[in-house]
Each structure stands twice: as structure tokens, then as C-alpha cells.
A = this chain, B = another copy of it.
Amino acid sequence: MSTANLIKTSSRFKIPFGGDYNPEQWPEEIWEEDMRLFKLAKIDCVTLNVFSWAALQPDEETYDFEKLDRIMDMAERNGLHVILATSTAAHPAWMARKYPEVLRVNFSGMRRKFGDRHNSCPNSPVYRKYSKALAGKLAERYGHYHNLIAWHINNEYGGECYCENCERAFRVWLKEKYGTIEKLNQVWNTGFWGHTFYDWEEIVAPNLLSEHFEENRTTFQGISLDYRRFFSDSLLENYRAEYEAVKEITPDIPVTTNLMGFYKPLDYQKWAKYMDFVSWDNYPNVDTPPWGSAMCHDLMRGLKGGQPFVLMEQTPSVCNWLPYNALKRPGVMRLQSYQAVAHGADGVLFFQMRRSIGACEKYHGAVIDHGGNENTRVFREVQALGQELAALGGETLGTRVSARAAIVVDWDNWWALEYSAGPSTDLKYLDEVGRYYQAFYELNIPVDFISVEDKPDNYDVVILPLLYMVKDGYGQILKDYVEKGGCLVTTFFSGIVDEHDLVVTGGYPGRLKDIFGIWVEESDALPPGVKNGFTWNGKHYPAELLCDIMHMEGAQARAEYESDFYAGTPAIACNRLGDGRAWYVGTRSSEEFYRDFVRELTGDAGIEGVWDSIKDVEVTQRRSRESWYLFFLNHNKESAEICMKAEGESLLDGKAYKAGDRVWLEGNGVMLYRVKMERN
């Protein structure tokens, strides 16, 4: 089942366009005006019922679907496709009062009171019972609507809890995982500081009252790491319970929940297995570079092996929870919408349709402003995009991005790495992932994000940024990959621990030692502002953050440190193994280095960018069996010149070009260019 199903009830296929719509928060007299405006803007898809639990279930015994019935009917009447949410991301006040167990306990150990959202303990039996029940009732009542195109379970799952129900569930989770308390003591290395457990009941949740002294600083990394896994699983169980409840009744309606890009608390690679399609919410900050959003889109696309995803939320203009709510400049909302599509999205949705008048999101951007009419710049831009997408139709739906390079991302590794006490507090996983991604991005080379469960064999170049944790068996997979001709790259502070965050003895990089043909004896952390350097291919680059001091055990030194007592020792090493090569980059360097390095790696592998680099113009490609779809996204304020390489059609304005034609793409402009493949 894929997102192509999303629009199955449409007369013809097209990109769903619309977003979160909360008519239940408004007087009904305004609904018809909404319908008029939606039509003006070619909005054909709404997400309903995101935060209505208290309205749908006014007390423990009673359900009241009357208003939702009217809303669903209105949607049907007006030809709106519906993504129906289950409303379980905020429990009703009566439930908090009657069953305080549904309330979370925070990192400081305090039981919360009613308020906020994402406020339910996932291990509360009461919450589990009633969230699942609500999902089932919604499916029973609305499953037959022909315009119901997807289920949206809960909303932006996240947060944390450290209550007694969680502790109990944690012990069960641990027992299932480790079987015996002896095994648990071993993998947590409890002998250190005499933390040996003799009874499962002695185990408590790791927070500020137990093992933690700061959010990411813990005295027992193993315990904290397992709690992260457990908690991601706990929320996943909530999701799965609702998933099953709706699937039982509507087996053909696809189910999703909206993810949030690189959201650290949840192991989305594990979650995606239980999602029919991936959807996510894109809220770049004012200073997020375009490659930052692109990286998230690519992560999302990779969660289900390249299958198209849905942009479930973005703001039409301002994002009110940022410190400074800069307006999206003219054209930027359209540009960002197409950027999603360019990276694999098959749906473009907003939060929110109508700007609320009270509570904490009343200054968040919306299609319909507080003014309440169509006479705003924002509405006009939405409307223009709606018309454009309607004209575009289903042309790009289901097409794929094809990449020959991959970056490996692993949530367990992320968690473990950033719990590490040493060697540097500035070691941040996404920094290193981002450095490599940015290099590919700037070279217009498609790259996939894969997990450590994905086979690397489909790729010519595979990057393992900061792969601190190497799980059982993964070393062998990587070795096989290289021996068969792959190009593998890893970085400083990689290969150190196993899946329990226990150091693999025998010399770093542990389970990767043979592949990279080196032994890292020491790692020197450089405080901010302190630099070493190296020369590679005749060019000088800085060395920062961490300098691994290594011995060649088969590999060849390719660059050497230029100063300090380890001057002259290797900074970069390359090991030939079987038919492939394994690069170890022992230090952090500059953006320029990563770009030059990736250019060499991909060059050696015969990988080319989908287009030459044009400053701040992003170019991506999606493919169907018949066509290439080139997306030109001009992130400059100024226009940029593009020289066409093949005959094709610019789909958004209907113009045809031949190879050699020159096109000026305006500032913030987008060109979607179709080139028909020649069939054999």
C-alpha cells in the first residue's frame, strides 16, 4: 500500500492539497465561507479531528459524534478528501481528573497536572484503553465515507514520561529483552559503581532523580539508552494499538502518523515498519539552509525504502513558536512546497486552514487569516499554488528518486553517541551527518538515508558518519560490501561500542578495525577555536573537534596532521579491501573539504550529479518509467540562468525547450522540467 492510494477517490490523480482544518473550533456559520475559500484555492484535502477527544467523549461513558458527522458530511458534500485523525494526542480534562495515571511524570520527577498536549503516559492502561477505543469507534462510524483517504493516528507523537506505570512497563520490556538479571547487569556494566541489581523491581527510570545529572548526561549510559528504546517503543505500541483498531474495520484505508524529520526521541526507522505511508511536518527555522529541509525530506523518503511520502504540515507563512516570526517571503512557500515534491512528496498540506483566535497557535500562519477573506498575499499564494497543482495533475505521483549513494543513519547510535561522557561535548550526530549530506546536496547528487538494517549493496558509495555504535553482524555486512567493490566511508569516533554501548576491546575502531585497516590509539579533543590541519590532494584543510591518532594496519595514509605532537601521523586513511575501498576520516574538517571529498568519492564511483552545481539552485530528479522530472529550485533572491540539456517541457508554465535553450529562473522560482525517456 502506498501514498498513491491517497487520491484514489479523485476523478483524476493529483497531489492532495489542503491541510489541518478544525471547523469544530468555530461557529458553524463560518463553515460555508470556508468551503467557498477552499474552492477558490483548489483545496481538495483536509485533515480533520486532530484535537477533538474532549468533544467526542464528554465523559467516560458517553460518545458524541454529532458535530463530526456534520463536518464529515460537509467535506463529502464539498468534494474534500479527508485524512481523519484519531484525536488522541491530548486527553480530556475529565480523564486527567478521574485517572491521574494518564498524566506524565517529567524528567525532574514531578507528576504533571492537566494541560498542554502530548500529555498522556503511553503506559497508562486507562489511556491505552480509551485511545484505542476511540480509534475503533471512529473507524466504525466513518470508515464507509468514500472521501476518507487515510487515517492519521494521534499527532506528532513525542515527549517523555518517568512514572510508575512506565517503570513497571520498562521492567517488563527489559525482562523480555534480556531474560535474566545477570545478563542485564552485564550489558549495563552495573559492576561499575556497584549498581548490581538483584531484583527487577530495583530498577527505576533514569532521570534527574536517579542516573541523570543533565538531560543528556547520565552515569549509566546503558540504562539511559535502553530507556530511550523502551520509550520510543511505548509510544509505538500506542500507535500500533490504534492502527490495529482502525485496520480491523477499514483494512483498505492507509494509515499514517505525522513525523517530524530528525526527531531524536523516536526511532522512526522502527516506526515506519508499522506505517502504510510516511507523512511529516516541515517547519524550517528562518535560518535553516535549504539543504536542511532537503535532508529531512530525504530521511523521510528513506524510511520506507524510497516510497513517496506526504508533506502533512507546513506553514503558509509564519511559524509562531519561533522567537522571531519572519514572514515567508513571496514565492518561498511555493518553493518549499515543490522542494518537498522534488524529494519525493506526493502530497502538499498545511497547518492550518483557518487561523484560530485563541490559545498558543493563534499567530501561526494559516491559509485563511484573522481577516477572514481571500484578499491577503498569503491566500493568493496558496490559491496560485492550488491552481498550479490542479493543472499539474498526477504527473509526478509515484515517481521515484534514484540514488547511488547512501548515508547510514541509526537512532540507537544517535542516542548512544550523545550520551557519551567524552571525548567532546560538541560531538553532535547531526552535525556530521549534515556535513556529508550538504556536500551531496551542493553537487546535486541524489543520496538516500538508509538504516543499519538496510543492505548497502544497492549503493556505490556508503557513508557512515560518526557510526559510534556497530551492532552485532553489521561489521560483517559492511566488510562484504567493501570486498564486493563498495566504497565505504566512516569518521572519527566510529566503531567504538556494541549495541549495549559497551566498548569493543582490542583497539578502536573495534568491529570496523579490519575493514578500515587502522588502529586508533588516542583521540585528542580540540576545544572551540583550536585547530590542527592537514593537506589532501594538495589542498590545505582545517582539522577540528577531534583528532584521532592512528596507526596504519593495512590502510594507506592519505593526509597527515600538520601540528602538535602527533604532527605527521595520518588524519585520513584509505584501505583497499577486496574490490572496494574503505576511507577513515579521522577528524572534522570544513564544508569545503566535505565537498571536495565527496566529489572525489563519487567521481571514482562514476556517480554524477543530476545537474551541474549552480549557486543556491537545487536540482533534483524523480523518475517514472517514461520520464525524468527535473526540479529546479532557485533558493536565491535573484534569478538564475539554466541551460537546458535535453528537449523537454516545463510543466508549470507549459513551455517547451530544446537542448541548449537558456531559461532564466526567477528568484525563489521553480521549474519542473519533464524529459521523456527514449524507449528501447
Contacts and interface: CB of A to CB of B under 8 A. Distances in A.
Contact of A90 (B193, B358, B364): B193
A189 B360 CA distance: 10
A653 to B, nearest CB: 22
A39 to B, nearest CB: 21
Nearest to A52: B194
A356 interface: yes
B320 A93 contact: no
Judged by DSSP, the binding face of A is loop
Interface string A501-538: 11111111000000000010111111100000000000
Interface string A341-377: 0000000000000011111111110000111100011
B51 A326 contact: no
A92 B190 CA distance: 11
Contacts of A423: 318, 320, 324-325, 363
A321 interface: yes
Interface stretch (A207-215, A300-308, A389-397): A207-215
Given A87-B194, A97-B202, A326 B115 contact: no
A115 B218 CA distance: 10
Contact of A376 (B53, B521, B523): B521
A329 interface: yes
Given A198-B94, A210-B114, A364-B422, A505 B372 contact: yes
Interface stretch (A105-113, A589-597, A604-612): A105-113
Interface stretch (A54-62, A231-239, A470-478): A54-62
A326 B19 CA distance: 51
B54 A358 contact: no
Contacts of A133: none
A221 B371 CA distance: 21
A422 B193 contact: no
A565 B329 contact: yes
Interface in A43-57: 51-55
Contacts of A355: 503
Interface string A305-335: 0000000000001101111111101100000
Given A55-B194, A58-B198, A116 B219 contact: yes
Interface string A423-465: 1111000000000000000000000000000000000000000
A130 to B, nearest CB: 13
A93 B202 contact: yes
Contact of A194 (B51, B371, B519): B51
B361 A421 contact: yes
A188 interface: yes
A321 B113 CA distance: 35
Contact of A206 (B92, B115, B212, B507): B115
A188 B221 contact: no
Contact of A371 (B110, B187, B325, B521): B521
Given A92-B196, A94-B202, A357-B505, A420 B363 contact: yes
Interface of A: 22, 24-25, 51-55, 58-59, 87, 90, 92-94, 96-97, 106, 108-117, 187-199, 201-206, 208-213, 218-222, 286, 317-318, 320-327, 329-330, 355-364, 369-372, 376-378, 420-426, 500-508, 519, 521-527, 565
16 contacts: A58-B196, A87-B194, A113-B204, A115-B212, A189-B357, A192-B358, A192-B361, A220-B359, A221-B358, A222-B359, A286-B527, A317-B522, A318-B423, A357-B502, A371-B508, A377-B522
The 5 residue pairs across chains A and B that have the minimum distance between CB atoms: A189-B358, A115-B210, A363-B422, A320-B422, A54-B196
